[in-house]
Amino acid sequence: MTDGDGGRHPDIDVNTPSVARMYDYALGGKDNYASDRAAYEELEKAAPSTRPLAINNRRFLQRVVRILAEDYGVRQFLDHGSGLPTQDNVHQITQRIDPSCRVVYIDNDPIVLAHGRALLQENENTAVLQADFRDTDAIFDHPDVQRLIDLDEPVGALFVSVLHCIPDDSDPWGLVRRVTDRLPSGSFLVINQLVSEDAEVRRRITDFLVEGTGGRWGRLRQRHEVERYFEGLEILEPGLIEISDWRPDSDLGPKQKTDEWIEFGGVARKR
Protein backbone atom coordinates (compact mmCIF):
# COMPACT_ATOMS: atom_id res chain seq x y z
CA MET A 1 0.00 0.00 0.00
CA THR A 2 1.25 3.49 -0.77
CA ASP A 3 0.36 6.93 0.51
CA GLY A 4 -1.87 7.40 -2.51
CA ASP A 5 -4.44 4.67 -1.87
CA GLY A 6 -5.40 5.37 1.73
CA GLY A 7 -8.84 6.46 0.54
CA ARG A 8 -9.82 2.84 -0.02
CA HIS A 9 -9.97 2.22 3.75
CA PRO A 10 -11.84 5.05 5.45
CA ASP A 11 -11.04 3.70 8.95
CA ILE A 12 -7.29 4.01 8.39
CA ASP A 13 -5.83 7.22 9.81
CA VAL A 14 -2.73 7.80 7.72
CA ASN A 15 -1.61 10.83 9.73
CA THR A 16 -1.19 9.19 13.15
CA PRO A 17 1.61 6.60 13.30
CA SER A 18 0.38 3.09 14.06
CA VAL A 19 2.38 0.43 15.90
CA ALA A 20 1.41 -2.21 13.30
CA ARG A 21 2.61 -0.03 10.40
CA MET A 22 5.82 1.12 12.15
CA TYR A 23 6.63 -2.53 12.87
CA ASP A 24 5.91 -3.37 9.24
CA TYR A 25 8.36 -0.65 8.18
CA ALA A 26 11.02 -1.94 10.60
CA LEU A 27 10.66 -5.41 9.02
CA GLY A 28 11.11 -3.98 5.52
CA GLY A 29 7.38 -4.15 4.59
CA LYS A 30 5.51 -1.79 2.28
CA ASP A 31 2.24 -1.37 4.20
CA ASN A 32 3.09 1.92 5.89
CA TYR A 33 2.70 5.67 5.43
CA ALA A 34 4.92 8.74 5.72
CA SER A 35 3.75 9.34 9.32
CA ASP A 36 4.80 5.80 10.31
CA ARG A 37 8.17 6.08 8.61
CA ALA A 38 8.89 9.47 10.21
CA ALA A 39 7.95 8.19 13.67
CA TYR A 40 10.04 5.06 13.16
CA GLU A 41 13.10 7.10 12.10
CA GLU A 42 12.75 9.20 15.27
CA LEU A 43 12.43 6.04 17.36
CA GLU A 44 15.58 4.64 15.80
CA LYS A 45 17.44 7.79 16.83
CA ALA A 46 16.26 7.24 20.41
CA ALA A 47 16.91 3.48 20.28
CA PRO A 48 19.34 2.50 17.47
CA SER A 49 18.82 -1.25 17.99
CA THR A 50 15.13 -1.12 17.00
CA ARG A 51 15.39 -2.85 13.61
CA PRO A 52 17.38 -5.92 14.73
CA LEU A 53 15.05 -6.10 17.71
CA ALA A 54 12.02 -6.30 15.38
CA ILE A 55 13.68 -8.84 13.09
CA ASN A 56 14.71 -11.05 16.02
CA ASN A 57 11.20 -10.83 17.41
CA ARG A 58 9.62 -11.97 14.16
CA ARG A 59 12.12 -14.84 13.89
CA PHE A 60 11.28 -15.89 17.46
CA LEU A 61 7.58 -16.00 16.61
CA GLN A 62 8.23 -18.07 13.49
CA ARG A 63 10.54 -20.46 15.39
CA VAL A 64 8.18 -20.98 18.30
CA VAL A 65 5.18 -21.61 16.07
CA ARG A 66 7.09 -24.18 14.01
CA ILE A 67 8.36 -25.93 17.17
CA LEU A 68 4.90 -25.98 18.78
CA ALA A 69 3.37 -27.47 15.63
CA GLU A 70 6.20 -29.88 14.81
CA ASP A 71 7.41 -31.06 18.23
CA TYR A 72 4.37 -30.53 20.45
CA GLY A 73 1.60 -31.31 17.95
CA VAL A 74 -0.30 -28.03 18.36
CA ARG A 75 -2.82 -27.65 15.53
CA GLN A 76 -4.66 -24.43 16.47
CA PHE A 77 -3.41 -20.95 17.30
CA LEU A 78 -4.84 -17.68 18.59
CA ASP A 79 -2.51 -14.85 17.59
CA HIS A 80 -3.22 -11.81 19.81
CA GLY A 81 -1.96 -8.62 18.14
CA SER A 82 -0.89 -10.39 14.98
CA GLY A 83 0.34 -7.30 13.12
CA LEU A 84 0.28 -6.89 9.36
CA PRO A 85 0.73 -9.98 7.23
CA THR A 86 4.39 -10.43 6.38
CA GLN A 87 6.41 -13.32 4.98
CA ASP A 88 5.81 -16.59 6.78
CA ASN A 89 2.77 -15.85 8.87
CA VAL A 90 1.51 -18.30 11.48
CA HIS A 91 -0.95 -20.07 9.15
CA GLN A 92 1.71 -20.52 6.46
CA ILE A 93 4.23 -22.02 8.89
CA THR A 94 1.72 -24.36 10.52
CA GLN A 95 -0.17 -25.37 7.38
CA ARG A 96 3.12 -26.42 5.74
CA ILE A 97 3.39 -28.93 8.60
CA ASP A 98 -0.29 -29.91 8.51
CA PRO A 99 -2.77 -28.20 6.17
CA SER A 100 -5.55 -28.75 8.71
CA CYS A 101 -3.96 -26.31 11.22
CA ARG A 102 -6.31 -23.50 12.25
CA VAL A 103 -5.29 -19.93 13.02
CA VAL A 104 -7.26 -16.91 14.24
CA TYR A 105 -5.47 -13.59 13.96
CA ILE A 106 -6.67 -10.74 16.20
CA ASP A 107 -5.63 -7.12 15.83
CA ASN A 108 -7.40 -3.82 16.46
CA ASP A 109 -5.64 -1.92 13.66
CA PRO A 110 -7.99 -1.66 10.64
CA ILE A 111 -5.10 -2.00 8.20
CA VAL A 112 -4.46 -5.52 9.50
CA LEU A 113 -8.01 -6.58 8.72
CA ALA A 114 -7.89 -4.99 5.25
CA HIS A 115 -4.70 -6.80 4.29
CA GLY A 116 -5.38 -9.99 6.23
CA ARG A 117 -8.71 -10.58 4.52
CA ALA A 118 -7.14 -10.26 1.08
CA LEU A 119 -4.42 -12.75 2.04
CA LEU A 120 -6.81 -15.28 3.54
CA GLN A 121 -9.63 -15.18 1.03
CA GLU A 122 -9.13 -18.78 0.03
CA ASN A 123 -8.03 -20.26 3.34
CA GLU A 124 -10.98 -21.71 5.20
CA ASN A 125 -8.86 -22.71 8.22
CA THR A 126 -7.84 -19.15 9.00
CA ALA A 127 -9.67 -15.99 10.11
CA VAL A 128 -8.70 -12.44 10.99
CA LEU A 129 -10.72 -10.49 13.57
CA GLN A 130 -10.55 -6.76 14.03
CA ALA A 131 -10.93 -6.68 17.80
CA ASP A 132 -9.35 -5.42 20.97
CA PHE A 133 -7.62 -8.51 22.36
CA ARG A 134 -8.33 -7.29 25.89
CA ASP A 135 -11.95 -8.32 25.33
CA THR A 136 -11.48 -12.02 26.03
CA ASP A 137 -15.20 -12.87 26.15
CA ALA A 138 -15.93 -11.23 22.79
CA ILE A 139 -13.02 -13.10 21.23
CA PHE A 140 -13.90 -16.53 22.58
CA ASP A 141 -17.58 -15.99 21.71
CA HIS A 142 -16.81 -14.83 18.16
CA PRO A 143 -18.28 -17.18 15.51
CA ASP A 144 -14.90 -17.56 13.75
CA VAL A 145 -13.20 -18.58 17.00
CA GLN A 146 -16.02 -20.99 17.78
CA ARG A 147 -15.78 -22.45 14.26
CA LEU A 148 -11.98 -22.83 14.15
CA ILE A 149 -10.81 -23.35 17.72
CA ASP A 150 -11.76 -26.57 19.50
CA LEU A 151 -11.48 -25.94 23.23
CA ASP A 152 -11.17 -29.67 23.90
CA GLU A 153 -7.73 -29.67 22.24
CA PRO A 154 -4.51 -27.78 23.12
CA VAL A 155 -4.28 -24.26 21.73
CA GLY A 156 -1.20 -22.11 21.13
CA ALA A 157 -2.04 -18.62 22.45
CA LEU A 158 0.43 -16.03 21.18
CA PHE A 159 1.15 -12.71 22.90
CA VAL A 160 4.29 -11.90 20.92
CA SER A 161 5.58 -8.36 21.35
CA VAL A 162 2.16 -7.00 22.26
CA LEU A 163 1.76 -6.70 26.02
CA HIS A 164 3.93 -3.54 26.16
CA CYS A 165 1.07 -1.97 24.14
CA ILE A 166 -1.22 -2.54 27.16
CA PRO A 167 -1.07 0.00 30.00
CA ASP A 168 -1.11 -1.17 33.60
CA ASP A 169 -4.63 0.13 34.16
CA SER A 170 -5.84 -2.46 31.62
CA ASP A 171 -4.11 -5.16 33.72
CA PRO A 172 -2.15 -7.22 31.16
CA TRP A 173 -1.46 -9.84 33.87
CA GLY A 174 -5.22 -10.30 34.39
CA LEU A 175 -5.64 -10.59 30.61
CA VAL A 176 -3.14 -13.45 30.40
CA ARG A 177 -4.90 -15.18 33.33
CA ARG A 178 -8.33 -14.79 31.70
CA VAL A 179 -7.12 -16.30 28.43
CA THR A 180 -5.30 -19.12 30.26
CA ASP A 181 -8.47 -19.92 32.20
CA ARG A 182 -10.41 -20.33 28.94
CA LEU A 183 -7.85 -22.72 27.39
CA PRO A 184 -7.75 -26.49 27.94
CA SER A 185 -4.91 -28.14 29.87
CA GLY A 186 -1.90 -28.85 27.68
CA SER A 187 -2.28 -25.51 25.87
CA PHE A 188 0.72 -23.25 25.36
CA LEU A 189 1.25 -19.55 26.00
CA VAL A 190 3.94 -17.65 24.13
CA ILE A 191 4.62 -14.33 25.81
CA ASN A 192 7.33 -11.75 25.31
CA GLN A 193 7.48 -8.00 25.58
CA LEU A 194 9.90 -5.11 25.53
CA VAL A 195 11.87 -4.63 28.74
CA SER A 196 14.76 -2.60 30.06
CA GLU A 197 16.37 -2.67 33.48
CA ASP A 198 17.43 0.95 32.99
CA ALA A 199 14.83 3.37 34.40
CA GLU A 200 15.95 6.21 32.15
CA VAL A 201 15.62 4.05 29.00
CA ARG A 202 12.18 2.86 30.14
CA ARG A 203 11.00 6.41 30.65
CA ARG A 204 12.49 7.81 27.43
CA ILE A 205 11.20 5.11 25.06
CA THR A 206 7.82 4.76 26.76
CA ASP A 207 7.23 8.54 26.61
CA PHE A 208 8.26 8.56 22.96
CA LEU A 209 5.93 5.71 21.96
CA VAL A 210 2.94 6.82 24.04
CA GLU A 211 3.15 10.28 22.54
CA GLY A 212 3.96 9.09 18.99
CA THR A 213 1.00 6.69 18.84
CA GLY A 214 -1.54 9.12 20.26
CA GLY A 215 -1.64 7.24 23.58
CA ARG A 216 -2.10 3.77 22.04
CA TRP A 217 0.78 2.21 23.92
CA GLY A 218 1.53 0.85 27.39
CA ARG A 219 5.05 0.80 28.75
CA LEU A 220 8.44 -0.86 28.72
CA ARG A 221 8.57 -3.15 31.73
CA GLN A 222 11.20 -5.04 33.71
CA ARG A 223 12.05 -8.73 33.52
CA HIS A 224 10.41 -9.52 36.85
CA GLU A 225 7.16 -8.02 35.56
CA VAL A 226 7.25 -10.33 32.54
CA GLU A 227 7.94 -13.30 34.84
CA ARG A 228 4.63 -12.51 36.57
CA TYR A 229 2.72 -13.31 33.34
CA PHE A 230 3.89 -16.91 33.75
CA GLU A 231 2.74 -17.48 37.34
CA GLY A 232 1.19 -20.95 37.76
CA LEU A 233 2.37 -22.13 34.33
CA GLU A 234 5.02 -24.73 33.47
CA ILE A 235 7.80 -22.83 31.71
CA LEU A 236 9.50 -24.72 28.86
CA GLU A 237 13.28 -24.90 28.49
CA PRO A 238 15.36 -22.74 28.23
CA GLY A 239 13.17 -20.56 30.48
CA LEU A 240 12.49 -16.86 30.28
CA ILE A 241 15.26 -15.10 28.40
CA GLU A 242 16.14 -12.61 25.68
CA ILE A 243 14.18 -14.19 22.87
CA SER A 244 16.92 -14.57 20.24
CA ASP A 245 18.41 -17.14 22.67
CA TRP A 246 15.17 -19.15 22.81
CA ARG A 247 16.08 -22.39 20.98
CA PRO A 248 17.96 -20.59 18.16
CA ASP A 249 18.00 -22.46 14.86
CA SER A 250 20.65 -20.37 13.10
CA ASP A 251 23.75 -18.33 13.82
CA LEU A 252 22.89 -16.03 10.96
CA GLY A 253 21.06 -12.75 11.28
CA PRO A 254 21.11 -9.94 13.76
CA LYS A 255 21.29 -10.63 17.45
CA GLN A 256 20.09 -7.88 19.66
CA LYS A 257 22.42 -8.04 22.62
CA THR A 258 22.43 -4.52 23.98
CA ASP A 259 21.04 -3.59 27.35
CA GLU A 260 19.20 -0.65 25.84
CA TRP A 261 15.94 -2.59 25.50
CA ILE A 262 15.27 -6.23 24.71
CA GLU A 263 12.38 -8.58 23.93
CA PHE A 264 12.15 -10.85 26.96
CA GLY A 265 9.92 -13.88 27.54
CA GLY A 266 9.38 -17.50 26.60
CA VAL A 267 6.88 -20.32 26.31
CA ALA A 268 4.80 -22.07 28.96
CA ARG A 269 2.31 -24.91 29.14
CA LYS A 270 -0.94 -24.92 31.07
CA ARG A 271 -0.78 -27.95 33.33
C-beta of 164: minimal distance to ligand SAM in Å? 8
Question: Out of 35, 76, 95, 108, which residue is the one contacting ligand SAM (CB under 6 A)?
Answer: 108
Q: Check binding of 56 to ligand SAM (CB under 6 A).
A: no
- For residues 110 to 129, the per-residue mask of contacts with ligand SAM, x marking binding by CB under 6 A and - elsewhere, is --x-----------------
Query: Among 12, 19, 157, 175, which residue interacts with ligand SAM (rule: CB under 6 A)?
Result: 19
What is the C-alpha to C-alpha distance for residues 1 and 11, in angstroms, rounded to an integer? 15
Please report which helix (H) or strand (E) contains residue 41, including its range: helix 34-46
Which residues lie below 8 Å from residue 75, measured CB to CB, with a gap of 6+?
A: 69, 94, 98, 100, 101, 102, 153
Region of 32-40, 156-164, 198-206, 243-251 interacting with ligand SAM (CB under 6 A):
156-164
Residues 232, 168: contact at Cβ < 8 Å? Answer: no
33 binds ligand SAM (CB under 6 A): no
DSSP state of 48: T
Rounded to a whole number of angstroms, the minimum distance from the CB of residue 17 to ligand SAM is 11
20 touches ligand SAM by CB under 6 A = yes
- The answer to whether residue 66 forms part of the interface with ligand SAM (CB under 6 A) is no
Query: What type of residue is 231?
Result: E
Q: State in angstroms the smallest separation of the CB of 162 from ligand SAM.
A: 4
Q: Residue 239 CB, nearest distance to ligand SAM (Å)?
A: 20
- Type of residue at 202: R
Q: Are 104 and 149 in contact (CB under 8 A)?
A: yes
Of residues 81, 172, 212, 266, which one binds ligand SAM by CB under 6 A? 81
Among 14, 53, 61, 103, binds ligand SAM (CB under 6 A): 61
In this chain, which stretch among 1-9, 39-47, 121-129, 132-140 interacts with ligand SAM, using CB under 6 A? 132-140
Q: What angle do CA 206, 211, 214 make, to 5 degrees?
A: 125
Query: Is 256 one of the binding residues for ligand SAM (CB under 6 A)?
Result: no
As a whole number of angstroms, the distance between CA 267 and CA 222 comes to 18
Nearer to ligand SAM, 57 or 94 (CB): 57
Q: How far is CA 201 from CA 3, 189, 197, 204, 242, in A?
A: 32, 28, 8, 5, 17
CB of 134 to ligand SAM, least distance (A): 5
Q: How far is CA 163 from CA 53, 81, 93, 192, 226, in A?
A: 16, 9, 23, 8, 9
Q: Which is nearer to ligand SAM, 201 or 232 (CB)?
A: 201
Task: Rule CB under 6 A: say whether 172 interacts with ligand SAM.
Answer: no
How many whole angstroms separate alpha carbon 94 and alpha carbon 81? Answer: 18
Q: How many whole angstroms separate alpha carbon 107 and alpha carbon 111?
A: 9
d(CA 5, CA 76): 34
Residues found near ligand SAM in the complex (CB under 6 A): 19-20, 23, 57-58, 61, 81-83, 106-109, 112, 132-134, 160-162, 165
